[in-house]
Amino acid sequence: MNSNKETNYLLNELFEGSTQAKNQLKHFEREIKLNGFVTVAAGENTAKIYTPQLAHILTSEHKVQVIAGKKKTQISGLKYWQAYFEGFKQGENYFENEFKPNASTLYGGQVEKYVTDLHNHYWHSKVLGSFEGWASVKFNYPFVLNQKSIKEFGYYSGIVSKADELIKLHQQVFADFDKCQHSISDKKPEAIEQRLGLKRIALIHFYNSITITRENAGTIAGKYGYTSKNSGEGLYQDYNGFVQATERTAIPTAETEKTLINKIKLFESVLPYLETAGLKRATDEINILKSHLKHFEK
């Protein structure tokens, strides 16, 4: 047995804790809503963090509750800060080396192709297990805490930081950058997954008690940028599946550990969009899903 093997901590109850911890989380939420990120400095090291949850994990003196094996415990996320910073700097360097344009690109004949390519990387490439692009770091935080996962979040955050600086500097060029009207292939304009994803949209509506029917599904999908005639039916089918309690919380006899973890991530990613009643129900069901992970323990 390798005694130097790092322990993987399963994040358990980030939102439970002292009043001070909850107030700090709310502080990060306000700062991110105002600025889009939290800037964190430790000595000469500076990095941006895009979700209040991750900011809380990496900077708070308040410990977070985790599961290690079968045991619940508490750890300080401060020990992961250096890994995040190293990933952040690597991401910044990657963007500078691979994507930083010159003036002739931005104001010449290749600008449309460049903006389209950057848009697809930013919003639609597969990052951190989903097709939300580099921007996934703005909507998610690590479910499993270890040096590798934290560094990966830092890496894509560094890329996003440099991309956002470029977009802000050339606002006229990137005026439509957030609009999902571009495609990788002219033949399949919806081959790339939209920013929220139909499953997230369905889940948000379910927990907020907004019914999706075959009649209104196309209209709802259209509000999120889905224009294909099949999108409404796809959204309806996803919603109809989530209405079934067994689809949301059943013991995953046919699922792998990875698919269950991805399912938990999906559910956690919609929490910021939920009203009070829906938030409580979703949180309870997430805890049920986490309890199922014991079925994969060796």
Q: Higher confidence at residue 33 or residue 166?
A: 166
Predicted local confidence at residue 92, as pLDDT = 97
Whether the pLDDT of residue 84 is over 90: the answer is yes
Token pair of 111 as six digits: 């600008």
Predicted local confidence at residue 218, as pLDDT = 87
Closest by CA position to 203, among listed 157, 150, 240: 240
Q: What is the pLDDT of residues 5-26, one digit of tens each?
A: 777 777 765 545 567 777 877 8
- Provide the mean pLDDT of the chain: 81
Task: Please state which of the ranges 39-48, 120-129, 139-148, 186-195 shows the lowest mean pLDDT.
Answer: 186-195
Work out the burial of residue 290: count CB atoms within 10 Å of its CB; fewer than 13 is exposed, 13-18 middle, 19 or more buried: buried
Give the integer Cα–Cα distance in Å for 115 and 105. Answer: 10
Residue 255's SS3 state is coil
Domain ranges for the chain, please list them: 9-169, 198-296
Whether the pLDDT of residue 231 is over 70: the answer is yes
Q: What is the pLDDT of residues 144-184, one digit of tens each?
A: 888 999 999 999 999 999 999 999 999 989 988 877 653 33
CB burial readout 147-181, b (16+ within 10 A) else e: eebbbbbbbbbbbbbbbbebbeebeebbeebeebe
Predicted local confidence at residue 12, as pLDDT = 63
Residue 214: pLDDT band by 50, 70, 90 thresholds? confident
Whether the pLDDT of residue 135 is over 70: the answer is yes
Predicted local confidence at residue 118, as pLDDT = 93
Q: Higher confidence at residue 237 or residue 89?
A: 89
